[in-house]
Structure 1
């Protein structure tokens, strides 16, 4: 399916699941192919030219999800997977999907949001959920026809995670009612074309706080379960049905991780603050960090050229390097003529050299334009407490992705994020209640701010909220990280000592050189090794 690269005749097969679970692609790739080739091939099959918003996700042998890195070899990333399975998903949700150039791109965004609504990642009120459901019915079934749409036809279509009789009745009612502004219009969807219904769906969905959020389960310093969401607006935290905090990209100075601790460095007018979240595992923490870095760079960088980010690194810890690949949002909008090109002087000053995390600009994302109001739909109050009559969350039936909040719906109850810890991979669904046992605390990176703060489970904070200072937890001891540098240091010291002993003629060393053990060491080991190295150097040059 791809052009031949190199002389290798080995071909690997993989399966790519599209946004509709019933649709898959069977692809082939050679060992020398990188992730970019596979993503471009999938987008080509879907006639997608705006490929920058999409990605391929896979699950490793330990059940950890990853985005396929476009600049790395495919085989190296999925070497332990059998069979090789990818899921085609929206990776970067555009702030204003109506600005997308191609209709086919908007349709893929619609399919992703429809999927998010079904699997509980798109938080909204009952009224908003009913309207979104009615728009899906309008897109897929067309105008209401009493001779065709008989009985409770909405039940046959899975639209929401929890579909009650009341909300299905409301969806049918909206499907029957004409569009507001037409003769007899009462604010329904009847009379909308497929394109109009799709655009209205996108208008409503992109205003929700959880638009573009894939919740990551984390814990605060008290062991309280939180869900971390990352999108074009910044980093958000949810506890149950409440959005507890929102760290805008303009406030984020640096993002790093240490062990299982995901750390956000914030810049406020008064002073700097550091906020930490405990992830279930080190691999999960690194995944959250990679997602946050990519989202931050995509929506804030002026240019993607030579954008590198580093985290960690020190005598007893391995640093992590992340190379950003692909265009940024600003570059895409400039290419499509939606933004004026940058000054050459500005471009030179903003993209010169490789960037460390601390030098990543934290400018706000491109503001949304146009009227996104929808008069018949009240805005959801995301910080309001969950009503007591809310239905508890149920286990997902999806084959892919809900690691966090899930939609619940009732006759007069706001749809809310579920209070269950969900670990759903692209292969097998699983759902269990989260544990309240606090995780061990790890330390911040070397040279970081000395105060680490953890977000508490307080209600929605005021605009001038600042996280309280907290002493950093003790640094965890790693035997491997301590052993390897010590081992290398000892052998390097011995090698230097041998060089001084055998290659210098200091009077201090003469009595030592005459000892039988040293003479034997020089004759049997040092001299042959020296001759061997000299021969190799001569052959090399």
Structure 2
């Protein structure tokens, strides 16, 4: 932006917004720098060593959000942006943030969840919102002091998207009341240290259905507005503020997309099903697919080495390749000594199926135990990662919620929008082409591994096995292939096919010319005397032959 791109001394400037809105970083990078450099530089400025959970997000000229790819050049990803602006955000929400080694990492997770609460992504009941709000007040203002905390001091702090007078009053009450277990304790937050309040906040927040969910607006086959969320537990659907379905990673067989259709292939004991969702645009559909693939690989793969997936390729469409970069959750936990070595776990696994490419067996989620589980029994079905240790037991109270807005809004809507009614999923028994862009967003396609041509493109994930949950309401149809691989075969590309055919034709013509002009084969003698061929030899073939002879002599 200051000189030509060919200048090796060129320096590009960018701004990185941190999780606190008032904090920004001004950074510089060279054209040869990749995304990993910038993320590591930001983490270094924040003294973060557990960098795998974080990422940098940007918005392109069309308003579509993206995560900065760590293995690609920064400049190529933001070439149309001016000024260049990134947002530092939590990309992979750890299933149990209390297992994080560093206090500074937990604090950044807290800041992200605080943002999620304010923008409506961390949705919960009013009572839970009041408890989370009170814990934020306790973290930032300390114990209640009647001489300092006067009037409506909670109103001055924006904590929730829909911050009503009733919720503010309840937050003040909880801030004044001593914590349970202390003399006169009534279940408030007074008496908690900053670190204790932060840990209580994280314990509560990570049990909510919307923990780690960045809602993507989609439509089902009836045209109903839904929001698709992707986190450590799988793919979730919401209608209004209500969670309607949860497709666990152990149930997901394949993820791919065609045009605006985001397609999830599910594996159940009796049947295999295909569920489709229509995204607002092709770019947003690709973004949803990339997010889903990254979340699935991070939380399910045993090793990140050479994890590469494809989707979308076909006779009339370009394929999309996605290469995963960075460590997986299992590798992080093994490094920190929180998980047994992979070989011993896989040897003793009792799971029915295994993931291919040395991936982790699909195991059921660990149920919550202790007082904390009782306190939040409404959320006890939320699965955790197959690798994470169970939460510490606690008697902490509940969490809070709202809608969405700004850069943190959910791409055109928030969880609180729309009526809370059940999602109806499509059911189909015959082969239908997803690429035909059906008018409704639940269209399913029947697949068979025996078909010589797979209609819906190449596979987009690893083989997922293990015991599966029961059938979904509304009935799902279709049949999928028996297995699939992370390093799937490259999809058919017209460009690659044309290049190969072009090269083959020229090689054949060159061989024919050598045979015609350099041999004295009797059947070709009459043909060689034709005027057109004599002119071709004199004007083109002979000069080219002499040129290549000279080059060969120079080389040898």
TM-score normalized by the length of structure 2: 0.75
Q: What's 2:471 paired with?
A: 464
Partner-residue secondary structure (3-state), 2:305: coil
CA distance in 2, matches of 1:375, 1:307: 39
Q: Does 1:398 align with 2:411?
A: no
Q: Does 1:305 align with 2:305?
A: yes
Partner-residue secondary structure (3-state), 2:154: helix
Output one character per residue of 1:168-197: Cα deviation in whole Å (capped at 9) or x when no partner: 111111111111222222111111111111
Q: In the superposition, relative to structure 1, how do residues 298 and 501 fare at CA in structure 2: closer, same or farther (>3 Å)? A: same
CA distance in 1, matches of 2:138, 2:46: 23
Moved more, 485-494 or 260-269: 485-494
Q: In the superposition, relative to structure 1, how do residues 129 and 513 fare at CA in structure 2: closer, same or farther (>3 Å)? A: farther
**1:216-235 map, 5 Å:** 216-235=216-235
Q: What's 1:18 paired with?
A: 18
CA distance in 1, matches of 2:496, 2:27: 41
Output one character per residue of 1:386-408: Cα deviation in whole Å (capped at 9) or x when no partner: xxxxxxx98x552344226636x
CA distance in 1, matches of 2:26, 2:255: 37
Moved more, 366-375 or 31-40: 366-375
Partner-residue secondary structure (3-state), 1:310: strand
Checking the alignment, whether the CA contact within 8 Å between 2:262 and 2:288 is kept in structure 1 is yes
Partner-residue secondary structure (3-state), 1:154: coil
Q: In the superposition, relative to structure 1, how do residues 521 and 275 fare at CA in structure 2: closer, same or farther (>3 Å)? A: farther
CA distance in 1, matches of 2:333, 2:357: 26
Q: In the superposition, relative to structure 1, how do residues 343 and 518 fare at CA in structure 2: closer, same or farther (>3 Å)? A: same
CA distance in 1, matches of 2:325, 2:413: 29
Checking the alignment, whether the CA contact within 8 Å between 1:218 and 1:277 is kept in structure 2 is yes
CA distance in 1, matches of 2:14, 2:159: 30
Deviation, 1:274, is 2.2
Q: In the superposition, relative to structure 1, how do residues 241 and 507 fare at CA in structure 2: closer, same or farther (>3 Å)? A: farther
Deviation, 1:8, is 3.1
Select 1:496's aligned residue among 508, 517, 520: 508
Output one character per residue of 1:369-418: Cα deviation in whole Å (capped at 9) or x when no partner: 875717666747999xxxxxxxxx98x552344226636xxxxxxxx455
Q: In the superposition, relative to structure 1, how do residues 317 and 148 fare at CA in structure 2: closer, same or farther (>3 Å)? A: same
Deviation, 1:299, is 0.6
Partner-residue secondary structure (3-state), 1:297: helix
Q: In the superposition, relative to structure 1, how do residues 186 and 272 fare at CA in structure 2: closer, same or farther (>3 Å)? A: same
Output one character per residue of 1:309-328: Cα deviation in whole Å (capped at 9) or x when no partner: 22243444333222211111
Checking the alignment, whether the CA contact within 8 Å between 1:266 and 1:272 is kept in structure 2 is yes
Checking the alignment, whether the CA contact within 8 Å between 1:121 and 1:213 is kept in structure 2 is yes
Unaligned runs of 5+ in 2: 1-5, 348-354, 383-401, 421-438, 458-468, 481-492
Q: In the superposition, relative to structure 1, how do residues 274 and 439 fare at CA in structure 2: closer, same or farther (>3 Å)? A: closer
Q: What's 1:69 paired with?
A: 69
Q: What's 1:245 paired with?
A: 245
Deviation, 1:233, is 0.2
Q: In the superposition, relative to structure 1, how do residues 450 and 77 fare at CA in structure 2: closer, same or farther (>3 Å)? A: closer
CA distance in 2, matches of 1:531, 1:267: 64
Checking the alignment, whether the CA contact within 8 Å between 1:257 and 1:285 is kept in structure 2 is yes
Partner-residue secondary structure (3-state), 2:407: coil
CA RMSD of aligned residues (A): 3.8
Q: What's 2:386 paired with?
A: none
CA distance in 1, matches of 2:454, 2:357: 11
CA distance in 1, matches of 2:530, 2:178: 104
CA distance in 1, matches of 2:47, 2:364: 27
